[in-house]
Structure 1
Amino acid sequence: LPVGASAWTAGEREAYANDLGDDRSLVAVSARSNRAKADKDISEWLPPLDAYRCTYLTDWTAVKTRWRLTVDAREREAMKQLATGCPDDPLTVTLAR
């Protein structure tokens, strides 16, 4: 069942923060972009480059699924709205832990 990271152990938090098991988990970005995003979810922040937003949605969905993280109502609505303009490609995810 999906849970929030607040229920994780210190070891689980470390595994998530250093996840190299999926290329979508850690994406190199500029310091400016990292500061702008901070801890905002997809309902609060999107990449400034429109052409990258579908990739961002796919990566976000994969990480949420991989780590069995919950999605709140605002986040779910933002994801649905963004997805309407994206290709309907299959998503393959290997669960973590």
Structure 2
Amino acid sequence: MIRSIAPALTAAAALLLVGPLSGCDVAARAIDGIGTPPSNHTAQPAGGGTAREAAQALVQLDSIPVKGRAPKTGYTRDEFGPAWADTDRNGCDTRNDILARDLTGETFKPGTSNCVVLTGTLADKYTGTTINFVRGQGTSSAVQIDHVVALSDAWQKGAQQLSADQRKELANDPLNLMAADGPTNGAKGDKDAATWLPPNKAFRCEYVTRQAAVKAKYHLWVTRAEHDAIGGILQGCR
């Protein structure tokens, strides 16, 4: 069952739909997206698995400023707006939009216009395992929605200078969101690529490509260690 989501796509999300070579095309072109309407949350995430994409992501990475990590002073989750706000105004909160995008065989709570996801199956990219999602106390946390670039990390690398609306967009941008294994997401916390990478090595090229795309789109920076970690992964993807 597919929901109708009316608002216009952002440039980045639209590019996510164009096919298997789209991952680093998104990375290369996403910079102009700030301030545009929130994108269609059913758009597929970026790729990142081909030599061409890796080469483009390396160019993207070199356009991102390299600076030291700023203090975490002043950071709270509230600085990025209400959690899982319905930014695209399709009647569903962002968490349910991403669950519906990333799960297969999903079922929905009756009377919610195919909005509230009750069950589904996740092919988890972080671990390479399959997880059965069942909504409920004690079960929902098995699948969590991860910010690919953690909000705390973003705060310390330029998001303090963004407007409140831009930070809210960052927190709800499909490019920066993916359903993931709950415990693995918890282990990641707010770490960047210098200190955490997905256990599933086959996903690392796409993971760092998406991190670079998000940081470029929202004019964030990377630390030297982070830059070198992302660059090292991308070199291996080639």
Which deviations, in whole Å up to 9, do the C-alpha atoms of 1:24-77 show, x marking residues without a partner? 321111211211111111101000001111111111111111111111111111
Tell me, what secondary structure is at the counterpart of 1:41? coil
Partner of 1:5: 159
- Which of residues 13, 19, 28 in structure 1 aligns to 2:173? 19
Structure with greater proportional helix content: 1
| Cα distance in structure 2, aligned partners of 1:13 and 1:67 | 9
Q: Does 1:60 align with 2:211?
A: yes
CA shift, 1:9, in A, is 2.9
Partner of 2:187: 36
| Cα distance in structure 1, aligned partners of 2:216 and 2:187 | 24
Partner of 2:231: 80
Let me know the Cα RMSD of the aligned residues.
Answer: 1.8
Give, as a single letter, the amino acid of the residue that structure 1 aligns with 2:180: V
- Which of residues 204, 216, 220 in structure 2 aligns to 1:69? 220
TM-score, structure 1 normalization: 0.76
Give, as a single letter, the amino acid of the residue that structure 2 aligns with 1:67: Y
Structure with greater proportional strand content: 2
Percent of aligned pairs with the same residue?
A: 40
CA shift, 1:83, in A, is 1.2
Which ranges in structure 2 are unaligned for 5 or more consecutive residues? 1-63, 66-156
Tell me, what secondary structure is at the counterpart of 2:169? helix
TM-score, structure 2 normalization: 0.33
| Cα distance in structure 1, aligned partners of 2:158 and 2:172 | 17
Partner of 1:50: 201
| Cα distance in structure 2, aligned partners of 1:7 and 1:86 | 33
CA shift, 1:11, in A, is 2.3
| Cα distance in structure 2, aligned partners of 1:9 and 1:67 | 11
Tell me, what secondary structure is at the counterpart of 1:27? strand
Tell me, what secondary structure is at the counterpart of 2:187? helix
Larger radius of gyration: 2
Which ranges in structure 1 are unaligned for 5 or more consecutive residues? 88-97
| Cα distance in structure 2, aligned partners of 1:39 and 1:7 | 19
| Cα distance in structure 2, aligned partners of 1:55 and 1:83 | 9
